[in-house]
Amino acid sequence: MKSTGIVRKLDELGRITLPIELRRTLGVEERDALEIFVEEDRIILKKYEPADIFNGTKDELFDYCGKKVSKKSITELAKLAGIIE
């Protein structure tokens, strides 16, 4: 882990502001979704990338009922259902 030397305080609602230099460097834009992970005593923020709900792949995604599903999963489900061979 690399220290940036940047320190921020939480506001009364528990929020912090990410400095513009960090956002530009990491490609985080206004309104981008961030995932939050906890590892021991660390809080890790990662830019959210949607993935297939069945296998976690990020290729050829379709939105179905608010969920991301890959073309591969759709094909496998169609085979399982006997719709295609």
What is the tens place of the pLDDT at every residue in 3-61? Answer: 888 899 999 999 999 999 999 998 999 999 999 999 999 999 998 888 999 999 999 99
Give 13-20's long-range contacts (Cβ < 8 A, gap of 24+): 18/45
pLDDT at residue 73 greater than cutoff 80: yes
Q: Is the pTM of this model over 0.85?
A: no
Q: Which residues pair with 35 in a beta bridge?
A: 46
CA distance 61 to 75: 12
User: What is residue 49's predicted lDDT score, i.e. its pLDDT?
Assistant: 87
